[in-house]
Amino acid sequence: MRHILIIFSLFLFSFTVISCSRSTSSTTTDNTTTTDTTTTDTTTTTNYSTTDVTYSGIWIKDNITSWVAISNYTFDQFSSVNINYSSYRIIDFEAVNIGDEIKYFAIFIDDGKSDTHCLRCDLDTYNSFQDSMHAYKVMPIDYERHYENGNSYFSIIYADSTYGNSGSYGSKSRYGEDKTTFLSEVSNNSSLGYYLIDVEIDYFGEKFSSLYSTKPANVLFYWDLDYDDLISNASTAASNGYYPTDIEIHEINGVKKYNVILNYGSNEWDYLIEGSYEEFDAKNTIRKNTGYRPIDFEVHTSEERNIGRVGDNLSVKNKNLVYINPKLKRRN
């Protein structure tokens, strides 16, 4: 069965045919303050281990924006890139159990703006950071929850939400909802002018977290798709002028389900769904050499990602990586 929500903005972009290279191996003046639901912690300790890892990504045509993407990095390696590319901002972050350690994936771009983030934060730090963001004109663009040694860690990235002389887009975020509530939120928020930009699904497909923005958009959202339906719907959407912006994979009783957000626009794009690391790395290299840049990575590790791993890989010094851009504009 095809599951789809259509989320319309107040106005559309001009139609442009999108080129999709299929690879299976391969202005409103809304100043609404960001609203958050406090995140609570649920942990499970286990010694379960798996090497079942797949890699997915989305790339768009962009010959202008400079970018750097990292994959399979340790947190120290990630931190080094974060420091050395301080003029770049993070638009996507993944922390995943691979082998006997947590590996990190991130996309940095240089577009003259800066991000504000809380990465690999414990619950108290995360909630405190979220509270602090209410004072600024920002909106969340990417949320990630992962587990280490039976403990939950949270990551969120904010971007500047200002436009024009004094405008600021509004935003909302919701965490840990059941699917029925989540789908209702998507529909209700759309009717209020808040459009879905990011989804995170964990705890065996039972907990849904989501981010929304009033930045004008024309959005499609598919959820709980089988693999063949995902590919079919992506191809159909491409022929109708849409391109994917976020993909999320989760499992229900060992069966993989695919969720994707698509936006209407004039981007040529390419994707890889559940390739090997070698295919993922090759795709990233090819696209870099042909004028594309990544906008979203999804690394899936079966149910292990949801239940965590017992190990010795948690470094205290690398917890709670918080950065608040000193140039952020405060709300009046």
**pLDDT at res. 20:** 31
pLDDT tens column, 214-225: 999 999 999 999
β-bridge partners, 117: 157, 323
pLDDT tens column, 291-318: 999 999 999 886 555 455 544 455 555 6
Helix and strand totals (H; E) in the chain: 6, 20
β-bridge partners, 248: 259
| Chain CA centroid to CA 313, Å | 24
Written as six digits, the tokens of 60 are: 């768009």
pLDDT tens column, 202-217: 887 889 999 999 999 9
CA distances from 45 to 119, 152, 176, 208, 303 (A): 22, 11, 19, 21, 13
Residues contacting 268, CB < 8 A, separation 6+: 18, 19, 60, 61, 292
Q: Under a CB-based contact definition with an 8 Å cutoff, are residues 310 and 100 in contact?
A: no
Q: What angle do CA 134, 214, 192 make, to 5 degrees?
A: 105
Q: Under a CB-based contact definition with an 8 Å cutoff, are residues 157 and 91 in contact?
A: yes
Q: Domain-by-domain residue ranges, the chain?
A: 4-323
Q: Is 93 helix (H, G, I), strand (E, B) or coil?
A: strand
Written as six digits, the tokens of 94 are: 């993944």
Q: Which of 153, 133, 148 is nearest to 211 (CA)?
A: 133
User: In terms of DSSP bridges, do strands 255-264 and 4-7 run parallel, antiparallel, or are they unpaired?
Assistant: unpaired
Local confidence band at 326 (pLDDT 50, 70, 90 cut-offs)? confident
Cβ atoms within 10 Å of 179's Cβ, excluding its own = 14
Provide the whole-model pTM: 0.83
Tokens 């069965």: give the residue.
1
| Chain CA centroid to CA 325, Å | 20
CA pair distance 286, 6, nearest whole angstrom: 33
CA pair distance 102, 68, nearest whole angstrom: 20
Helix, strand, coil share of the chain (percent; to 5) = 20, 45, 35
Average pLDDT score over residue span 88-99: 88
Local confidence band at 15 (pLDDT 50, 70, 90 cut-offs)? very low
